[in-house]
Structures are given as structure tokens and as C-alpha cells.
Structure 1
Amino acid sequence: MLGVLRGPRQVLFGAGQRRALGTMTAGLGRRALVCTDARFGATPEFAELVQVLEEAGVGVTTYTEVLPDVPVHQVAQCAELAAGIGPDVIVGMGGGSCLDLAKAVAVVLTHGGDPADYYGELRVPGPVVPVVALPTTAGTGSEVTPVAVLTDPERVSKVGISSPHLIPHTAICDPELTVGCPPGLTAAAGADALCHAIEAFTAVRRPVVAEVGTERVFVGKNELTDVFALLGVRVITAHLQRAWSTPDDLVAREAMMLGATAGGFALGSAGTAVAHAIQYPVGALTHTAHGLGVGALLPYAMEFNRPARIPELAAIALAMGASPDASAEDLATEAIDRVAALLDAVGIPSSLADLGLPADQLRWTAEQAMGAQRLVANNPRPLDVDTVEQIVRAAYAGDRAALRDSSAAVHDLDEPDLTAAGGAR
């Protein structure tokens, strides 16, 4: 049995908790750099939060230019601004991109160099300027994760900086900040959060050895992340359509933010897999939102991995309200059907063709996806460029049944538990 869980030192969750921002930040220092985007930076809510900080005795410098998918040049731009004020703490407010920029700036501000010096896993040499994360969407879970995703023009796909040092010091999750979020953004963010929970719950299972938690950022599914993953599945699937159709429903908004944060805890230690790997090149080609891409791909990833994850998919079906009287095989099928139906109901495209992926770029997409080795290695069934292309082609055609023919002679990547044979603990 293995359990690995990492997270912020403290998480405040609930309606109105944003008003604790001043106290939480003042406990870390007296000079704060606040990172957000132009949309949120122009809202009364942002002005209120700045005032909360100032009333707590925190001097505030703002950077309100964060762009979607964080172009890497913004990290250097924002770090240069930060260097001039010497912040004690960096506050990220907004969607995942705003939080990711805050985390990346904290790395560069502390350790110097360029963001590219830290691409990959475990390349951040030590602690960074503390980050306080305050999400305004319910999707990425970046407020609790050890990764910052950036867009580098020298790379085809997105790149990530992954290290436990990137986990924010404090996360303040106030669902009132998501009330009124437009349906399209609600759907995309919710699909992303659901994908985090499901891919973490169905990820590869690694052996119980002492090194697993120190040599990897993402260790695969385990006892602790499974708890958060199933919580995410349960609350997201029960409330996504309601939040999408009724933007001011606070109960639904609370559930979606809880699900996104739970998904962040799950992926932060377990990691994600093939749906995320394929989305990176798909997003680069189609310029579509990350959540739309992983949402479109998720049922196909589940179908491909089904033979190696029957019990897990059955548990997902039960978390979604399926009858426990069905067989595990039938429940696994029902889980995929239910996920596909939910995503379709909130307007997530059901195929890569609907996303605009060019028909002549399917092999290229598979080749590029294989470059995301962190994600490929985390998939429960082994992947090579041909099997990834099978998933891409099925997802392009909108044909999940095509992946059922690939399940012959299945073996998974779960590694043996060495403790059963007297190995290291």
C-alpha cells in the first residue's frame, strides 16, 4: 500500500474566505506582488481584494497583464517588475494561468536564470518566495499543485516546471468568485477538473519503495490521492451541468470549486496521463482551450485504458450514482458512457474533428504527444506512437468502439510491489 500526498501549508475553502487574504498574506510579509489578468483586474472584486491587502498593512504592486496559457516571456517580464520591489510574497488571483505565472515568477525571482532552466521535474533547487493562490475559476486546481504550465515559442507544445517547491504556501478558495462564470468557461474548466480526477485515479500504480516520493513529482495512483480523486468525480459530475446552466447557483459553484481543488490534490501527487499528453499538440494546432481538449479526449482515454482499469472505472461509475448491482465490467462501460454524456450535455466537443484538428496531422499529433514523457509514463497501459495514434484517430472520428478492438493481449504498466518480496520500503 502506497500513499503520497503533497499540498499547501493551509487551504481555506468556503464562501467569503477571500476576506482572509489580508491576514494570510500579512503573515508572510509586508510587500506583495499581485498577478492577475486584465479581465479580473478590472473588476470590483479585484479592487476589494487589493483593499483587503492594504488594510492589513501589505504594500501592493500589481501585474494585470497575464495572458492565457502564460507565454514564457511574461515570466521574465513579471520577475523584472518583482525584482524592483523585492516582494516577500506573490499573490496569484484568477484562473490557472494567473496562478501558474505567480508560481513561475517565484522560482525565477528566488533562483535566477530563465524559466527554461527549470523545465521538467525536480529542477528547482530549493524553496521559493511564498505564493498565496486565490482561484477565480473551478478547473485547474493550480492552487494546490506542484506545477506551472507555460507556452514557449521555441517548443511546439506547452512546457511545465514541476517541483514540490512550486506548491503555493496558502490557497484561498472562495466559490463566490466563480458565481456568474460564463457557461462555456464553466464547461471547459469543469471538464479539466474532471479529467484531473479520473486520470489521477486511473494512473499507473508504482511499487512501494522509499525513493518513489523523492525521485518523482508525480508518483501515480495511490491510497491518499484516490480519496481526493473520487471526491472530485462525485461532486463534479453531480453539479457540472447545474453550474453550467445556472451561473449564479452558489451551491453548484461551491461543489465545482471543491471538485477542482480535490482534483488538484489528486493530480498533484498522482499525475495525469494520455488525455493531457495528446491535448498539448492538439491545443497547439487548434488554438482551443485546454479544458475543451482534455474533455473531448477523456472518454477515448478511458476507453483505451479500460482493460487495465476495470475496478477503478467501476468505482467511478458508483461515484456517479450507478447501481452497485451491476458487474464490474458493466459498471466500467457505464462510467465511460456517463462521462461522455455529461461532457456532451455541457457543450464539450465529442471529437477532435469538432475541435478543428486537421485530418492530415493525426500522426504528427501522436508523435508530439509521445514527447510528454511524464504523462506517457503515467498511463496505466503502455503507449508508443502507434497506440497513441489509435487514440487520436478514434477521437478524431468520434468512434470509441474502435478502441475496444485494441484491447487484445492487454498488459498494464503497474509495477510489482517490491515489499511483497522483501524489497525496500
Structure 2
Amino acid sequence: MVPKVVFGQGSFDQLQSILSPERKSKSPFIFLVDDVFIGNNELIDRINLRFNDKLIFVSADEEPKTIQVDQIVKDIKAEFTYRPSGIVGIGGGSILDLSKAVSIMLTNKGSASDYQGWDLVKNKALYHVGVPTISGTGAEVSRTTVLTGPVKKLGINSDFTPFDQVILDPDLTKGVPRNQWFYTGMDCFIHCVESLNGTFLNAFSQSYGEKAYDLCKEIFLDSSLSEEESRAKLMMASWHGGMSIAYSQVGVAHAMSYGLSYVLGTKHGIGNCIVFNHLEEFYKDDVILFKEMVAKHNIDIPQGLCKNLTQQQMDTMIDIALSLVPLWENAIGDNWETVITREKLASMYRKM
């Protein structure tokens, strides 16, 4: 679990007082910041860089890649003689995942692709802090950093992955584009659906999942909420949803969206929405509710992405999905391979 968290409007201004006890002599803090904030002097000034701290703007236009992690780590090692005091990620899920991965690779040898899987990390990660500027992914709380590698899309799942400190300031999510707000919020909703309907469910994950699920219904269906209330509640839904899957697992939508992302480059949130839109067979009532939310907010869910795939692309997409064994075990059970065949997945993908 993330050992320390602060929440509230304006809590971002506590950043330097939080970092101060962790600062080591001559060792900088490295700030990985979403490049959407380039030119946003108000936010950058609030970071309050000190000494030889380094700010690196990172693009979140594409899903995080292992090669991207390796390059950032290489650049940091080349520029600084001393190991950094820590890594601070400021942005959405992609930036938070990159930050977690960089903090791991600064203390572990090899490439980030070597650690894609479960519990492969040997050494404790560098001190790292997460500051989400969009809510829904749960990346701020999860033990996973989702990365696309040279042969697969798979997270670095380990006890060393979670942040040491998270700052939850709802004000930082002001101005998020409406479609992105919805897609990322639905990532949280789908986390809850998959956790609550999974075979891995337990009392701990259920308590968090039910709370996040109820918050999502309130946020996306209750028109009486103010924007301020909605921002705060979605930030907490994201946290609770992330906690739920951290102690259980996700399911069909995530397994299939990984394939979309690897082959077509589809961003995670919208990819989940594309897949979930066709999963009545597995989550009937929740898909009906999802479609109600889509209609209420007049959101466009892309169609026809897979209709012109080559056989090689389809095979790769299916291979990626089938490789995510724990997700299928959670969604269906130990006999999942008798239900989820290659033919079944191909038929499902062709609908998307």
C-alpha cells in the first residue's frame, strides 16, 4: 500500500515540505511532468525547484514504453554523478506509470522490459512521489506500472512499484478535456466492475470496489453535483478503485484492451471503453449502466477499429490478450481456457 497520502484543495503546495526530509546532499529530485503543462507557469512555479533539481517534460500522447523508461534512466545517469533523491511524477496515468518504472530502473539493472511480469523486481525502488492531474486510472495507488515492451504490453507488478507518497489535489484536475475526463473516469468504473465480479474478490477489495462504484454512479449520473464536488469525488473513486484491483484483479475489458493498445496504439482509457461497450455477455447490467452514462454525456465511443486488421495483427492482438492469465482467471475462473478461445476472441475483436 502507499504509506503516505495527503488530500485536499491546495495540497500540492505541500510538495517541497514533503520532499525536504528525503533530500540527500548534492542529489537532485527529478520531476517528470506531463508536457501538457509546458508554458503553464502557475503550476511550474508551484513545484519550486531547488538546488540542482531537474524538470523533464514527458509526452503522454502514446502509451508508456519500456524503451522510453530506459532512455529517461540513461539520460538521468549521464547527467548526474549522484543518484537522485527521488522521482516525482506529475500528470495522468501514463506519467505516473513512467515515474514508477523510472524509480525502479534507477536501482535495478537491465531494461524495463526485463521486469514486465509479476514480482520480478529485486531491489527497492528509488523514493518516488505521485501527483495525479487527472482521475480514474488508479495509477497513483496500484502496484503496477503498465508498459508496452518490444514483444508485449504488460505491467511491472511488484511490491516495490507503489509510490512512497501521493498528493491528491482535486484542483489539479481542472481543465481536463471532457472526453478524456469521461474515458479515464470509465477506467475507474470498469476497474470496479471487474473487481466486484471477479473470482479473486475478497472483503478488502470488495469494500473499496463498492465505494468507488457508487461514487462513479453519482459522478456520472447525478446532475446536481457541482464541478468542485465532482472533481473531489472522482479523485477518491480513482483511489478506491485502484485499491480494489490492487487486492484482487481486473478482467475481460483490460485483458482485451491491452491487445488493442499494443497493436493499434489505442490509449488505455478509451481502449477500455471500446471493449467494455461489447461485453454484455460478461457484465450485462454494468454495460447497460455504462451505455446510459455514455448517452448522458454525449460521448463518442469509436467503432470499427478492428474490421480491417490483417491476420497477423489479429493474431498478435489475441496473443497479447491470452498472455494475461491472472486477468482471465479472475474474470472467469480456472477453466477460462475452455471459454476464451482464439476463435472467441477474434469474434469479439471484430465487433469493435
Give the alignment's TM-score, normalised by structure 2.
Answer: 0.87
Stretch of structure 1 that moved more, 171-180 or 19-28 = 19-28
Distance 1:242 1:136, change over 3 A: farther
2:117, 2:156 within 8 Å by CA — same for their partners in 1? yes
CA distance in 2, matches of 1:347, 1:10: 38
Identity of matched residues, %? 24
Aligned to 2:205: 225
Distance 1:15 1:361, change over 3 A: farther
Secondary structure of the residue that 1:384 maps to in structure 2? helix
Aligned to 1:64: 57
What amino acid is the match of 1:305? F
Provide Cα deviations, 1:9-54, integer angstroms capped at 9, x if missing partner: 1111221111111111112224311112211243234313321x53
What amino acid is the match of 1:289? K
Which structure 2 residues correspond to residues 115-194 of structure 1 after superposition, within 5 A?
115-152=112-149, 154-155=150-151, 157-194=152-189
Q: What's the offset of the Cα at 1:338?
A: 1.6
Aligned to 2:257: 279
What amino acid is the match of 2:57? T
1:188, 1:295 within 8 Å by CA — same for their partners in 2? yes
Aligned to 2:20: 26
Distance 1:254 1:347, change over 3 A: same
Structure 1, unaligned runs of 5 or more: 1-6, 205-219, 307-332, 399-425
Secondary structure of the residue that 1:272 maps to in structure 2? coil
RMSD over aligned Cα atoms: 2.7
Q: What's the offset of the Cα at 1:86?
A: 1.8
1:378 pairs with 307, 317, 330, which one?
330
Please tell me whether residue 341 in structure 1 is matched to residue 338 in structure 2. no
Please tell me whether residue 10 in structure 1 is matched to residue 4 in structure 2. yes
CA distance in 2, matches of 1:120, 1:270: 16
Secondary structure of the residue that 1:62 maps to in structure 2? strand
2:204, 2:247 within 8 Å by CA — same for their partners in 1? no
Q: What's the offset of the Cα at 1:174?
A: 0.8
What amino acid is the match of 2:205? T
Distance 1:94 1:242, change over 3 A: farther
What amino acid is the match of 2:231? R
Number of equivalences: 340
1:187, 1:347 within 8 Å by CA — same for their partners in 2? no
Provide Cα deviations, 1:217-257, integer angstroms capped at 9, x if missing partner: xxx321111111111111112113679x99x9111111111
CA distance in 2, matches of 1:341, 1:136: 26
Provide Cα deviations, 1:64-95, integer angstroms capped at 9, x if missing partner: 12443112222122112332252111101001
CA distance in 2, matches of 1:257, 1:20: 18
Larger Rg: 1
2:274, 2:301 within 8 Å by CA — same for their partners in 1? yes
Aligned to 1:413: none
What amino acid is the match of 2:3? R
1:140, 1:193 within 8 Å by CA — same for their partners in 2? yes
Distance 1:282 1:24, change over 3 A: same
